[in-house]
Amino acid sequence: MERLGVRALTWDDPDIHAISARFTNPPPLLYVRGSLESGTSGRWLFVGTRQASAYGKEAARTFSAGLARVGVTVVSGLARGIDAEAHRACLDAGGRTMAVLGSGVDVIYPQAAWALGRGDHGARRP
């Protein structure tokens, strides 16, 4: 965890209060890489299909980039389709993203999202 810059937080940890109200049935531990604090003027969650249409992808990119430019953190699952487009557009616009993963922080799934999760897809890393 130390090598990857990952922290394991319990629900007693003061850092977790940034998101704790959003869980109705929280897991015993939350693994975090980076900061939970948005540092921005709010968060916007993108949830969408993995097999998005060209229009859907463009809409996700447009909304995400616009939100990033006004300081909103984009949150999504880092999956292909709408999620990946939202993360990529936010980073390309110089914004901040948060990914909620269904896997460990050392196993980014799907494989196509690996570059986004590492922050090295070509955009400025926040």
Q: Which pLDDT belongs to residue 90? A: 92
Q: Per-residue confidence at 126, pLDDT binned at 50, 70, 90?
A: very low
Give the pLDDT confidence of 66-96 residue by residue, as tens digits: 999 998 888 888 788 888 899 889 999 999 8
Q: Which pLDDT belongs to residue 42? A: 72
Which H or E element spans position 91?
Answer: helix 82-92
Taking residues 42-71, report their average pLDDT: 87
**For residues 126 and 91, is the Cβ–Cβ distance under 8 A?**
yes
Structural domains for the chain: 1-37 (no CATH), 38-126 (3.40.50.450)
Whats the size of the chain, residue-wise? Answer: 126
**For residues 117 and 108, is the Cβ–Cβ distance under 8 A?**
yes
Q: Which pLDDT belongs to residue 118? A: 53
pTM greater than 0.95: no
